[in-house]
Amino acid sequence: MKRAAIVLAAGMGTRMKSQLPKVMHKVAGRPILGHVIAAVREAGVERIVVVTAPSAEMVRAFAAAEGAESVIQHEQLGTGHAAAAAAPLLGGFDGTVIVAYGDMPLVTGATFAASFAAQEKSGMAVVAFHSENPAYGRVIVGADGMLSRIVEYKDADAVERAVKRCNAGIMAAEAGRFFGWAAKLDNRNAQKEFYLTDVPALARKDGVSCAVVEADETEMMGVNSRAELAGAEAQMQKRLREAALASGVGMTAPETVYLCHDTVLEADAQIGPYVVFGPGVTVKAGAEVKAFCHLEGAVVERDALIGPYARLRPGAHIEADAHIGNFVEVKNARVEKGAKANHLTYLGDARVGAGANIGAGTITCNYDGFFKYHTDIGAGAFIGSNSALVAPVTIADGAYIGAGSVIAKDNVEKDALAVVRGDRKDVAGWAAKFRAIKAAAKAKKKEGK
Ligand code: UD1
Ligand code: CA
């Protein structure tokens, strides 16, 4: 059976109190909608249609970037009305459609797959979970174990409200029939909305029964407020940390490590406490990231040592056995095998050759206020402490830079020494004389008072 998905993302998300559309808020570095799209895709859908609000150009651009189609729901008249907006694209789809809400970042591909499987067996399927949270719609199951109807909390009576089986917001049905039922919805309810949740009752009248797939509460959590977003982030972090540990990553204090949805940590990578991963980071086996580091868009090769207190920004590539120490920032720079920058350094738009040693306080001056320039440091070079390398500049293999030098314009030759410093002047006894004069002046001032 062919599979397609409709992801509802046109709601106002007013409870977020944000200019950003709700589904674009990030969990583990990825918009909530991105998590939902990835999960339905895992269940083998061949088309994904995202339902968006007219003003949500940003959501449509994101959907397109993720390989999904989108439609506009011109007025936000409810979830049923939103799903019906996909009819021009999927009305003629010869297969099963699954509807999902775009505000469920923790939903997994396995749950979508189970819903498709249940639909194939029974004709229709919805997902339910157990929750004490009163906000969710209630799933009322008949004596036959099949769905009787879904009632929104605001429309429910006391008996229905006592039911703890809640509607997750996932529904699978045969596409053509689904859009037929969606077109028949009315808005005679407490919120005067066209509820997606009324579809199963219409299906039942047409003799199509609906199976109830049970799922886990944390997975089904919808994000409606900032507090729920933070709660979803906590759950996602827990999941990512558990997966990393299970795959052989060492973590001293996993509860303090913040991972991104796409963080790649190989088995035997070691991560210290309070390390934060932004998007696009890979840490290979044997590498260690010590406490209090921040990494994004970076690759750390085998047995490299990072931190404590290091910052790797996009384009940082730290090769095997290299060391990046405390208060070192690396951006768009390759630090080749065994090179070391251990203290207080900025390496931007640069290459540091294998085995080179970058002294404390070295700065690559990569920006002149208009353009960025490259610094090339050769293999085995030694950069003395507190040197400024004014790009574009090349320090050839094996060269030495004397501490405190400002190296600009001309390249430094292979195995040469370059040192740029003012001449030193020593005045014997000067300090003792100076102190004597000042002490006498101070004593005189005191007497005068
Ligand atoms: C909905 C369900 C409820 C379920 C809960 C699970 C209905 C009527 N209620 O309630 O049974 O327990 O989700 O989280 O379906 N949307 C649109 N267009 C609209 C309205 C909503 O695209 O006109 C989208 C929203 O962007 C959101 C999703 O549909 O992604 C759900 O809407 P929301 O308002 O959050 O529904 P809930 O009140 O949470
Ligand atoms: Ca919701």
Any idea what the Cα angle at residue 72 is, between residues 197 and 49, rounded to 5°? 65
396 domain residue, yes or no: yes
The CA distance from 181 to 83, in Å, is: 11
| Residue finishing a domain among 165, 188, 218 | 218
Closest ligand to C-alpha of residue 194 is: 1
Residue 81 Cβ contacting ligand 1 at under 6 Å? yes
Residues 210 and 129 in one domain: yes
Domain boundary, last residue among 169, 196, 218: 218
Residue 429 forms part of a structural domain: no
Report if residue 431 sits inside a domain.
no
Taking CA atoms only, the protein residue closest to ligand 1 atom 29 is 8
Rounded to a whole number of angstroms, the distance between the first and last alpha carbons of the chain is 101
- Residue 404 belongs to domain spanning: 230-418
Instruction: Give residues with Cβ within 8 angstroms of 283, minimum separation 6.
Output: 264, 265, 266, 269, 271, 289, 295, 300
195 and 239 in a single domain? The answer is: no
Positions of E strands within 84-208 = 96-101, 123-130, 138-141, 147-151, 165-174
Residue 316 covered by a domain? yes
Residue 430 lies in a domain: no
Ligand 1 atom closest to Cα of residue 137: 11
Query: 172 and 258 share a domain?
Result: no
What's the pLDDT tens digit per position in 320-371?
999 999 999 999 999 999 999 999 999 999 999 999 999 999 999 999 999 9
Per the CB < 8 A criterion, the answer to whether 89 and 5 are in contact is no
| Ligand 1 touching residue 101 (CB < 6 A) | yes
**Whether pLDDT at 60 is above 90:** yes
* CATH for 79: 3.90.550.10
Q: What is the CATH number for 386?
A: 2.160.10.10
Question: Confidence band (pLDDT; 50, 70, 90) for 132?
Answer: confident
What does the pLDDT read at residue 95? 98
Looking at the fold, whether 173 and 269 belong to one and the same domain comes out as no
Mean pLDDT taken over the chain = 97
Which of 191, 218, 245 is where one domain is finished?
218
Is there a single domain that holds both residue 198 and residue 288? no
Question: pLDDT tens, 239-268?
Answer: 999 999 999 999 999 999 999 999 999 999
Any ligand 1 atom below 6 A from CB of 225: no
The pTM for the full model equals 0.93
- Which ligand 1 atom minimizes the distance to the CA of 191? 8
Q: Could you identify the atom of ligand 1 that is nearest to the CA of residue 13?
A: 26
25 has catalytic annotation: no
CA of 104 to the centre of ligand 2 (A): 8
Residues 29 and 130 in one domain: yes
Is there a single domain that holds both residue 141 and residue 273?
no
> Does a structural domain hold residue 405?
yes
> Cα(146)–Cα(214) distance, rounded to whole angstroms?
12
Number of separate domains in the chain = 2
Q: Which of 376, 295, 355 is nearest to 329 (CA)?
A: 295
